[in-house]
Amino acid sequence: MIEKIILCPDRVRKITGPFSFIEHRFLREGFFHSLTHQELVLYLFLVLVSDRHGLSFYRYDKISTLLRITVDDFILARNGLLEKDLLAFDGRTFQVLSLPPQGPKPTPFTPLQGREEMEEKDPATIHQLITRSLGGSHAR
């Protein structure tokens, strides 16, 4: 049996509903919006598999396989969640933390305008340009 050690005793989640409970503050106060796609998928996965203290013992390779993301994307997502103070990790155990008291600061939204800005700042357009330049099968 695995010995469980709470990583942050002062931040143990308090579950008042099912174990996969997520506070509405997560959406309302901008946490959801602040996450990248990979961070969101990893966060929701860890919420679903964690115990009542938010602890999970899944290994990175199993998580990457189940979420169908690369190990590099997993590492970026994990590090992003650590930086956003939503997750603790000791190299073996994950702990989904209670939400920080303050939601993330909203980032100003500035729409991209024109082809030049799209080619410089839009990841999907940049991906398409690179694929075309390499003669990829997805080029159109």
Give domain limits for the chain: 9-96, 111-140
CATH architecture assigned to 9-96: Orthogonal Bundle (1.10)
pLDDT means over runs of 10, the chain (140 residues): 90 73 90 95 95 92 96 96 96 95 78 85 86 70
What is the model's pLDDT at position 63?
A: 97
What is the model's pLDDT at position 49?
A: 92
What is the DSSP code string of the chain? Answer: -PPP--S-GGG----SSSTT---THHHHTTHHHHS-HHHHHHHHHHHHH--TTSEE---HHHHHHHHT--HHHHHHHHHHHHHTTSEEE-SS-EEEPPPPSSPPPPPPP----HHHHHHHH-HHHHHHHHHHHTT-TT--
What is the model's pLDDT at position 140?
A: 47
What is the model's pLDDT at position 139?
A: 44
What are the distances in angstroms from CA 45 to CA 32, 74, 134? 14, 12, 35
